[in-house]
Copies of this chain bind each other. A is one copy, B any other.
Amino acid sequence: MSDTVVVIGGGPAGIEAARNIADLGMKAVLVEERERLGGTPIFESYAALTPHFDDAEEAMDGMIAALAERAGADVRTNSTVTAISGEAGDFVVTVDGPSGSEEVAAGAVVLCTGFTHFDPGRERQIYNYYQYPDVLALQDLEVMLKAHDVRVPSTGKVPERICWVQCVGSRDRNIGNEYCSKVCCGVASKQAIEVRKIAPDSRAYIFYIDMRMYGYWEQQIYWPAQEQYHVQYIKGIITEILEKQGGLIVRGEDTTMGRPMEVAMDMVVLSVGMEPSEGTKTMAGVLGVEQNKYGFIEVARPPLDTVSTNREGIFAAGAALGPADLEDTISSAGAAASKAVALIRRGSPAVV
């Protein structure tokens, strides 16, 4: 029985899982394929975190610094897990890194390989994302927000009219993603607030099907967006985006008014949904854990066990399991750490 837990993926879930494991007296080997920790908030240049507008880089740096203080946490960047053998309590995990291949004895594994943003060109060109420079995705706008400089790409001017189109790559049977990506209503609204702060003369519109500001997001983001920042929410279906006279025309149906609409915009932001990252799909194969039809990791015993996969001793946390906000991610990482350490302490596979 090894006292080591291999954590795969160095984003928020992986860092939180590794920290908890170290704090529980076990050794965490955190394997990250990129050159540094931080995950999607860092590599996609997120500006502010939902819902409290904390600076994303500062927040992640804080997590990374706290992890670095833990003697029990061994971080391996530029490294990937390429094989696993053995069973719960006595896995041998092959980690390929800069100094070659190493076999790590591990009692348990926590998979934290997260999500990727839906690609609006994955199957067909959706809303001309690749054709029109002024049609962005959520993560493209994050880069501008982080620089505190929001400009219409084709003109270099501050946008006068900007809109978000919700549910791009989510709730869509045609592209195979029936699920709701959960966070995009909150993220779009957070971005709209940030744009209105940076460019107070702009007008911001969000076209949505259902505004899914669950729990406290309702009063933390949705009400201020409307009342303090005058973001306009329009229940409607956007059918196409066209270029016209140097600007964009957004066409669709205003479902509340029950009539077609055609509105001019300088910039359109596609609220792209969550899909499993390449790392999640690859690691599911390497580890031999079940995926759901979307490619996310399948939880074996929901809803009363949120982190166990079908393979004993292998747990998953965060957005590798499906759409998750940061709080979901942090909680499930703590829960996965607890179950992984418990398994090692017991010296035998999990008692349910």
Residues of A in contact with B (beta carbons under 8 Å apart): 12, 16, 20, 23-25, 49-52, 54, 59, 62-63, 66, 69, 171, 178-182, 210-219, 223, 235, 255-258, 302-307, 322-328, 330-339, 341-342, 345-346, 351-352
| Contact in complex: B49, A303 (CB < 8 Å) | yes
Within the assembled complex, what's the spacing in Å between the Cα atoms of A34 and B114? Answer: 41
Within the assembled complex, what's the spacing in Å between the Cα atoms of A256 and B337? Answer: 46
Q: List 13 A-B contacts (CB under 8 A).
A: A50-B303, A171-B218, A178-B223, A180-B215, A210-B211, A210-B213, A212-B213, A212-B214, A303-B327, A304-B330, A307-B334, A332-B335, A335-B338
**Cβ-closest chain B residue relative to A217:** B180
**Cβ-closest chain B residue relative to A274:** B215
Within the assembled complex, what's the spacing in Å between the Cα atoms of A256 and B237? Answer: 13
| Copy count, this protein chain | 2
CB distance from A83 to the nearest CB of B (A): 29
4 additional A-B pairs beyond A54-B304, A180-B217, A334-B336, beta carbons within 8 Å, are A62-B352, A210-B212, A215-B322, A330-B335
CB distance from A72 to the nearest CB of B (A): 11
Partner of A51, one of B49, B303, B327: B303
Q: Which residues of B contact A218 (CB under 8 A)?
A: 171, 178-180
Within the assembled complex, what's the spacing in Å between the Cα atoms of A210 and B52? Answer: 23
Q: Which residues of B contact A212 (CB under 8 A)?
A: 210, 212-214
Within the assembled complex, what's the spacing in Å between the Cα atoms of A290 and B182? Answer: 28
Given the contacts A210-B212, A214-B323, A302-B327, A342 and B256 also touching, CB distance less than 8 Å: no
| Contact in complex: B171, A303 (CB < 8 Å) | no
CB distance from A280 to the nearest CB of B (A): 15
Q: Which residues of B contact A50 (CB under 8 A)?
A: 303
**Cβ-closest chain B residue relative to A334:** B335
Partner of A66, one of B23, B25, B332, B351: B351
Within the assembled complex, what's the spacing in Å between the Cα atoms of A23 and B335? Answer: 12
CB distance from A257 to the nearest CB of B (A): 7
Q: Which residues of B contact A12 (CB under 8 A)?
A: 304
Within the assembled complex, what's the spacing in Å between the Cα atoms of A216 and B297? Answer: 13
CB distance from A174 to the nearest CB of B (A): 14
CB distance from A32 to the nearest CB of B (A): 18
Partner of A338, one of B20, B59, B213, B235: B20
CB distance from A63 to the nearest CB of B (A): 6
CB distance from A54 to the nearest CB of B (A): 8
**Cβ-closest chain B residue relative to A258:** B258
Q: Which residues of B contact A341 (CB under 8 A)?
A: 24, 338
CB distance from A45 to the nearest CB of B (A): 18
CB distance from A51 to the nearest CB of B (A): 7
CB distance from A312 to the nearest CB of B (A): 15
Within the assembled complex, what's the spacing in Å between the Cα atoms of A338 and B336? Answer: 9
Partner of A326, one of B63, B171, B304, B339: B304
Q: Which residues of B contact A257 (CB under 8 A)?
A: 258
Q: Which residues of B contact A256 (CB under 8 A)?
A: 255-256, 258
| Contact in complex: A24, B219 (CB < 8 Å) | no
Within the assembled complex, what's the spacing in Å between the Cα atoms of A283 and B59? Answer: 31
Q: Which residues of B contact A330 (CB under 8 A)?
A: 303-306, 335
